[in-house]
C-alpha cells in the first residue's frame, strides 16, 4: 500500500485532491494507494512523529504560520526520502522546491491529468533502482512482481494474465492500456499486439509474424508493428550485451 499524506489549509482543495485520488484508484487498480489529509501542517507533523511518515507527500506551499516549504524541511530533517509534490498558485515558488529535493509541483487549480502524471512519476520513483518491481492488485490481494520475472502480459477473457519466469501466472482486472502505461518506463517491455505486452529480456528471436519467447510460446506481432518491433529488439539486444 502506497501511503499519501496531503496537507492544505483549504478544505475545498483537499476535497478536490481526494476526488482525484479516488478516480486514480479506479483507473489504476493495480496501484493500491491510501490518502490521509490534513488542514494543519502541525497535525501532519504530530502524526508522522507518532507513527512514521508517508511514501508521498502533497503539500500546499502557501499556508499561514508554517509554509509547505517549512513542512518539507521538517520532513527531510527526519531523514525521510519520501517523494514530495508541492501545490502552488505560481511557478515562481518552484525554485524553492529544489532545496528539499521535491519531486515536482502542481499548479492550482489542479487538473486531473496533471495529478495523475505527477503521482505516477512519484510512484515509479519509489521502486528500487537495482531490482525494480511493480505492485499488482489481484483477487487474492496486492502482489509485488519483479520486472525481471515478467515474461508476458496477455489480455484474455476480461482478465490480464501475467506469465512469470517460474511458470506461474497471475491474473488482474487492470486494463491492458493501464498496464502498458505502468510498464512504459522500463525499456525491456514492448506492446507488439493489441492483446500482449512482452518483456524483451525473455525473447529468443522473432519472425515477421511471431516473437519466440524463452518459455517456448509464440506471441503474434501486428503487421504494422513489425518494423518498429524489429528496431526496438535489435537496439535493446545490443544495449544489453
pLDDT tens-digit series, residues 124-141: 888 766 678 888 888 888
- The whole-number average pLDDT for the span 5-27 is 96
More confident residue, 100 or 140: 140
pTM greater than 0.75 (yes/no): no
Return the half-sphere exposure (C-beta side, CA atoms, 13 A cut-off) of residue 79: 2
C-beta of residue 40 within 8 angstroms of C-beta of residue 47: no
**How do residues 159-168 score in pLDDT, each as one tens digit?**
999 999 888 9
**How do residues 25-54 score in pLDDT, each as one tens digit?**
998 877 889 999 999 999 999 999 998 899
Q: Does pLDDT of 95 surpass 80?
A: no
More confident residue, 237 or 39: 39
Domain with CATH 2.40.50.1020 in the chain: 133-239
The Cα–Cα gap between 137 and 92 comes to 39
Looking at every residue in the chain, the average pLDDT score rounds to: 88
Domain with CATH 3.40.50.2300 in the chain: 2-126
CATH for the stretch 2-126: 3.40.50.2300
Q: Does pLDDT of 75 surpass 90?
A: yes
CATH number of 133-239, picked from 2.40.50.1020, 3.40.190.10, 3.40.50.720, 3.40.50.1100? 2.40.50.1020
The Cα–Cα gap between 179 and 134 comes to 10
Amino acid at each position: 500500500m502506497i501511503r499519501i499524506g496531503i496537507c492544505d489549509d483549504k478544505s475545498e482543495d483537499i476535497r478536490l485532491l481526494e476526488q482525484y485520488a479516488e478516480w486514480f484508484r479506479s483507473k489504476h487498480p493495480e496501484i493500491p494507494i491510501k490518502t490521509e489529509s490534513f488542514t494543519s501542517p502541525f497535525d501532519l507533523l504530530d502524526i508522522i512523529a507518532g507513527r512514521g511518515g508517508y511514501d508521498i507527500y502533497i503539500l500546499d506551499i502557501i499556508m499561514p504560520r508554517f509554509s509547505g516549504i517549512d513542512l518539507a524541511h521538517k520532513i527531510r530533517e527526519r531523514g525521510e526520502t519520501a517523494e514530495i509534490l508541492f501545490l502552488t498558485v505560481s511557478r515562481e515558488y518552484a525554485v524553492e522546491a529544489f532545496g528539499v529535493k521535491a519531486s515536482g509541483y502542481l499548479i492550482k487549480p489542479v487538473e486531473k491529468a496533471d495529478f495523475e502524471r505527477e503521482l505516477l512519476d512519484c510512484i515509479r520513483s519509489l521502486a528500487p533502482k537495482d531490482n525494480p518491481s511493480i505492485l499488482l492488485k489481484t483477487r487474492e490481494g496486492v502482489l509485488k512482481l519483479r520486472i525481471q520475472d515478467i515474461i508476458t502480459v496477455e489480455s484474455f477473457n476480461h482478465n490480464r494474465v501475467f506469465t512469470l519466469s517460474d511458470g506461474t501466472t497471475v491474473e488482474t482486472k487492470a486494463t491492458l492500456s493501464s498496464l502498458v502505461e505502468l510498464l512504459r518506463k522500463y525499456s525491456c517491455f514492448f506492446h507488439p499486439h493489441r492483446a500482449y505486452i512482452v518483456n524483451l529480456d525473455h525473447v529468443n528471436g522473432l519472425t515477421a509474424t511471431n516473437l519466440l519467447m524463452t518459455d517456448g510460446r509464440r506471441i503474434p506481432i501486428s503487421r504494422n508493428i513489425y518494423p518498429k518491433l524489429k528496431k526496438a529488439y535489435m537496439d535493446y539486444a545490443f544495449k544489453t550485451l
